[in-house]
Amino acid sequence: MESSDKSEEVILIPPYVKYLIEVAKKDPIKFWERIAEENTSYVYWKKKWDKTFEWGENGKPYRWFIGGITNATYSHIDYQIEKGYGNKAIYIYENTEIGVTKTYTFSQYKSIVEKYASAMRGFGIKKGDRILTYMPTRPESVAILHAAARIGAIHSSVYAGFSAGALRDRIDGVGAEWVFTQDYNLRRGKMLNLKSIVDEAVAGAKTPVKKVVVLKSGYSQNDVNMVRGRDLYLDEFLDYSKDGSSEVEWVESNEPIFITPTSGTTAKPKPVVQKHGPFQNYVVTMARWVYGLKPTDTWFITSDVGWQAGISYMVWGVPIFGIPSILYDGVPDYPRPDMWWEVIERNKVTKIWFSPTAIRLLMKYGTEYARKHDLSSIEVIFSAGEPLNPAPLKWLMYEVLNGRVPVIDHYWQTETGAPVVGYTYGIQMMPIKVGSAGVPLPGIIGEVVDEDTGEPVKPGERGVLIIRNPFPGFTSELWQDQERYWKSYWEARPSLKGVIYTGDAAYIDKDGYIWFMGRADDVIKVAAHRIGTFELESALVSHPAVAEAAVIGVPDPIRGQVVVGFVVLKHGYQGSEGLKKEIMEHVKKVFGPIAVFRGIEIVKSMPKTRSGKIMRRVIRAVYLNKSPGDLSSLEDEASLEEIRRAIEEFKKELE
């Protein structure tokens, strides 16, 4: 047989997925109408929509599924009970701080939500009012959100770790007149007075907060300060249920369901609005296509009820499939480093959602804790929140799970409500490219373009991700600030008017896979070479001693900028000058000599946001002796002092 010199074509994107992508490109609106029709087996419409999409006049929000009448709480709870899921678990509460596990069925949970809804109405909360929760992940905090949506109120869930200043900004940002919190929280065995933080935030807020409702956690016998006439305990609040109705408030598709303020850096948080109809459709679609959710699953998203991932795929997006979610109230490594593995084994979890930070933390402790547990129920693990370095992905997929199940990266933002770039695990699985978040999903016309010209870049060239079409998951407004909305997303750059600007740097390869490199402004220029922070950090983390890494660019008189790296070591490794040199040599080998380091410092922890993202701007500011700006989202002030100490030591060495 004669040999052929033609290279064989390998089809990476499954034909049906490719078909959906191309159909959506031809007519995105018609495509989303077809998908919404498919989703009616999940999303309940009391009245079907009259028109699929229309742009708003004079800069007003565009609208989806116009004229449709629905309610997200009804779709997620009542509709599932009608399908026969009443006696099936909807939530499994795991509080590892005090060793509590409790299961709630759909029917039991519906009774709780109805009582909360009745109490809200009896209390005077009505359709369109904004309620805000400042509570950890627990059944009560989730039920408050479902109850608010049930009566047509708008909820905003804030992570119960934010400072009083950050909470105040969020109260004002959404105009919340009703705040729900709990007296104390327990983390790593330490008692935190949440109520005192709420008191300080409310005192400084411009919004007149009418009532503060306080859940007694049972963690302490000590009473918290209660303001007469404003504050009441949850039990007292529930007494108002006799004065109100739990009936569903049917709403038009484009009425708001919730507002999520994005974490700010130097500016105030953006209050991102999602609407009942389009949001339901989008989270359901991506749960089908990306996560492959099915009634036999048990789902564990390790996010918090105060973050968008937890709101989209714990509060919403999962019960609508008639499957249980884990409500995890605690931290992953207390009281033992294997708490998550224990929860997975006990509940026979099938699908897991980890942040990259969480995976790196688990990797820091090694495989021994995972191997103590039966993890055979796991079918797939997903990761999002920031780019997932190849080393942690491979560690989890091959060393922990022995290559038995895939670990799948994907990408989305608070503003998108659900994934926009990923692998179509739920349709037909695509080959995983380690380090890539996948491809723009069907219905998302995503491109990587030059930020200055707006033109698509060639494969392998760095650019910024933009999305050319509106889609149901993308927010259509910022609460009461439409001018900021258009400037932030649709008119962010002169060359990018009329497209959605994500602000995330990336390149696209010849097969259409997207590789994210950090934020567009997170670039280090060494002797005219533009290097993404993610690339260098991945090179650092690929060293066997390194669990976590951060890099910054610092001024250099010859090269313009050079790199300073910070690393956290895995358990069992000791820092030394020899190890620092070894790590730098390793990076030169795996990345190339253009990565010119001024030095590497070994630290115990990194300054991170409360959602687990490394705050490089803070590290850079400290290095340059500048103000670090807004630190309201900083998780642990001790980590900032750790960086200060490391930088001072580093600078002494250079003297």
Q: In the CATH scheme, what is the homologous superfamily, with its name and number, of domain 526-654?
A: ANL, C-terminal domain (3.30.300.30)
Q: pLDDT tens, 74-97?
A: 999 999 999 999 999 999 999 999
Instruction: Please give the CATH architecture assigned to the domain spanning 69-331.
Output: 3-Layer(aba) Sandwich (3.40)
Q: Which CATH number fits domain 15-41+413-517: 2.30.38.10, 1.10.3720.10, 3.30.70.260, 2.160.10.10?
A: 2.30.38.10
Q: Where in the chain is the domain with CATH 3.30.300.30?
A: 526-654
Q: What is the pLDDT of residue 630?
A: 58
Q: What is the pLDDT of residue 527?
A: 62
Q: Where in the chain is the domain with CATH 2.30.38.10?
A: 15-41+413-517
pLDDT below 70 — which residues of the chain? 1-7, 263-267, 527-530, 609-611, 628-640, 642-643, 646-647, 649-655
Question: Residue 531 corresponds to which tokens in the numbers above?
Answer: 């290097």
Q: pLDDT tens, 361-407?
A: 899 999 999 999 999 999 999 999 888 989 999 999 999 999 999 99
Kindly name the residue from 50, 235, 452, 521 that is annotated as catalytic.
Answer: 521
Q: pLDDT tens, 513-534?
A: 999 988 787 778 776 666 778 8
Question: Residue 597 corresponds to which tokens in the numbers above?
Answer: 């380091």
636 is catalytic: no
Q: What is the pLDDT of residue 640?
A: 63
Give Cα separations from 219 to 99, 113, 185, 271, 457 (angstroms): 12, 24, 7, 32, 56
Q: Where in the chain is the domain with CATH 3.40.50.12780?
A: 69-331
Burial class (CB in 10 A: 0-12, 13-18, 19+), 529: middle
Q: What is the pLDDT of residue 161?
A: 85
The helix/strand/coil state of 528 is coil
DSSP annotation string for 63-107: EEEET-EE-HHIIIIIHHIIIIITTSEEEEEEETTTTEEEEEEHH
CB-based contacts of 120, cutoff 8 Å, min separation 6: 131, 147, 148, 151, 153, 240, 244
Nearest to 507 by CA among 632, 421, 572: 421
